[in-house]
Amino acid sequence: MTNAMIRVKNVTKSYSRGGETLKVLNGLNLEMDEGRFYALMGPSGSGKTTLLNLVGGLDHPDSGDLFVAGANLSDLDGAELARWRADNVGFVFQGFNLIPVLSARENVELPLSLTGLSRAERKKHAEYALELVGLKDRMNHRPKQLSGGQEQRVAIARALATDPKVLLADEPTGDLDRKSAEQVLDLLVRLNQEFKKTILMVTHDPHAADRAQSIVHLEKGELGRIEHNAPAAAK
Ligand SMILES: Nc1ncnc2c1ncn2[C@@H]1O[C@H](COP(=O)(O)OP(=O)(O)OP(=O)(O)O)[C@@H](O)[C@H]1O
Ligand SMILES: [Mg+2]
């Protein structure tokens, strides 16, 4: 047995649109080790977001199995899947998806509402996560009062608040300038190295992909080559 954190077995996924069926994933097989940082690359429409959503239990495959963080996702019903997600995965999106009327701290506290933590503990956890991403001094700011890079770091703090094993990031640096992108990548590398998070990050940017330990290529719903980078350079 390997210590795979993510195991994708014979997964197929199609979408129907206007009477036509679009095959997106075609019997995909893939294993990702615990504690490793993976970049997922591939042309637009190759199924990267689809795969990320399946791994995070946001969607179901047509056939095949996903084993993630010790669970076979096909065994879980809707409520169990929501619980599993809350305990095991954190999501980071290109567009940050912060709630505009809430402060940074309140945004980070949101996923903690699904846990049994008291209000005071939730606040403490949120503040710790914001400290980790270097934004404790901004915790009372609303998203509009932050730069894009800061917003994304708040979103990462939100993804971390429940201390998930797996972080799934869909083009997290896609909307950021170079310097902010670099800060977000530095943070992801640190979360991988220091906190042993397993990370799967979709990116179009070869420079961003180079910060990961392995680069997985997806082509037309099938696995292409996998490259392994030299040990990630945490700055
Ligand atoms: N809910 C949906 N309904 C119908 N078609 C969909 C749906 N979601 C995705 N698709 C189609 O499936 C294919 C794969 O989409 P996906 O979003 O996974 O690609 P991607 O690799 O993430 O692309 P990008 O790099 O542009 O984000 C695309 O052709 C897309 O149009
Ligand atoms: Mg996508």
Predicted TM-score (pTM) of this structure: 0.94
Mean pLDDT of all residues in the chain? 93
What pLDDT is attached to residue 113?
A: 87
Ion ligand 2 residues within 5 Å by Cβ: 48-49
Per-domain residue ranges for the chain?
4-228
The answer to whether the CB of 6 falls within 8 A of the CB of 68 is: yes
Q: Which of 204, 205, 148, 208 is nearest to 180 (CA)?
A: 148
Token readout for 228 is 């392994």
Which atom of ligand 1 is the closest one to the Cα of 171?
27
C-alpha span between 45 and 50 (Å, rounded): 9
- List pLDDT tens digits, range 170-183: 999 999 999 999 99
The architecture of the domain spanning 4-228 is: 3-Layer(aba) Sandwich (3.40)
Residue with tokens 């490793």: 36
Evaluate if residue 1 carries a pLDDT over 80.
no
The answer to whether the CB of 211 falls within 8 A of the CB of 188 is: yes
Cα of 68 to ligand 1 centre, how many Å? 22
Cα of 135 to ligand 2 centre, how many Å? 28
Count CB-CB contacts under 10 A for residue 77: 8
Cα of 104 to ligand 2 centre, how many Å? 26
- List pLDDT tens digits, range 28-38: 999 999 999 99
Evaluate if residue 201 carries a pLDDT over 80.
yes
